[in-house]
Amino acid sequence: MIDVLVVDDDYMVAKIHEGFVGRCAGFQVAGVVHDPASALAAAKRLQPDLVLLDVYLPGASGLDILTALREAVPDMDVMIVTAAREADTVKRAVRGGAVQYLIKPFTFADLRQRLEHYRQTHRALSPGATAAQVEVDRLFATPRTATQPPKGLSAETLQLVADVLTSSGGDLSAAEAAELAGISRVSARRYLEHLADSGRAEVRLRYGEVGRPERRYAAR
């Protein structure tokens, strides 16, 4: 689960945002606070994955505490949710390291879309995993065209390998995937690497006592 801290000076709005987050699969609200000091204290105490941070807070701008929040919890991300539309404010948020900027008022669908994007990008790059280019592009919001199977790979076998990976419920080596799919290990590796490059699978490295780490693949 992705833990979220909601920071908004308006108690009613904060309650609405809390409800929105609670309706998003894979997310849960770790806490709700309404001022800068409480936000910093809650972030240190709760160590959330993500903060929904308003700009208009009593005593200080949310942008003024953005850096402090990220310094207090280096692995924590911040999404700005505010009525502030000024270009300078948006630029400050970006330079401060905000991962998203959502302008009020917004609908549940608006927030859900951005939370889903966050889940698929920033949290998909788990420790020990290697990033495919598609994941890097998503992280930096780089548009990509649809990826087609390269020459020599068939769509039918690609889907077969993808189904094998999904049904395994874990990660597989190229040899294990080959046996389950009924194809050669070399072919299985080509299909698995294509799935990783297109963002449909992630590569995990399993380290042994000696030699190179084993590349294993898991469905996304």
- Edge-to-edge strands, sheet with 171-172: 129-130, 201-206, 214-219, 171-172
Model pLDDT, residue 139: 66
As a whole number of angstroms, the distance between CA 97 and CA 52 comes to: 13
Per-residue pLDDT of the chain (220 residues; tens, 9 = 90+): 899 999 999 999 999 999 999 999 889 999 999 999 999 999 999 999 999 999 999 999 999 999 899 899 998 999 999 999 898 999 999 999 998 999 988 889 889 989 988 887 765 566 666 666 766 666 666 545 545 677 889 988 999 999 999 888 889 999 999 999 999 999 999 999 988 888 788 888 888 777 778 899 998 8
User: Which CATH number is 2-121's, of 3.40.1260.10, 3.40.50.2300, 3.30.420.40, 3.40.1390.30?
Assistant: 3.40.50.2300
Do the Cβ atoms of 183 and 157 come closer than 8 Å?
Answer: yes
- Edge-to-edge strands, sheet with 100-103: 27-33, 2-7, 50-53, 77-82, 100-103
As a whole number of angstroms, the distance between CA 111 and CA 117 comes to: 10
Model pLDDT, residue 123: 56
Say what the pTM is: 0.62
Indicate the fold that domain 136-219 takes in CATH. Answer: Arc Repressor Mutant, subunit A (1.10.10)
> Residue ranges per domain, the chain?
2-121, 136-219
Residue 52: strand pairing partners: 6, 79
Model pLDDT, residue 152: 87
As a whole number of angstroms, the distance between CA 101 and CA 123 comes to: 18
Match 């693949």 to its residue by tokens.
217
Q: Where is 135: in which H helix or E strand?
A: helix 133-139
